[in-house]
Homo-oligomer: A and B are copies of this chain.
Amino acid sequence: MDKVTKYRQIICNFLTQQGKIMPLGETIESETIFDEKLALLRRSRWDRYLLIHLGWNGQKRIYSVLLHLEIKDDRVWIQENNTDISVSEILLEKGVNREDIILGLKPAFVRQYTGFGVA
CB within 8 Å of B: which residues of A? 31-38, 48, 50, 52, 54, 56, 59, 61, 63, 65, 68, 79-80, 104-105, 107-108
Contact = CB atoms under 8 A, between A and B. Distances in A.
A33 B68 CA distance: 11
Contact of A107 (B38, B56, B105, B108): B56
Nearest to A110: B59
Contact of A33 (B48, B54, B56, B61): B48
A105 B37 CA distance: 27
17 contacts: A31-B48, A33-B38, A33-B50, A34-B38, A36-B37, A37-B37, A52-B68, A54-B79, A54-B104, A56-B107, A56-B108, A61-B105, A63-B65, A63-B68, A63-B79, A63-B80, A65-B65
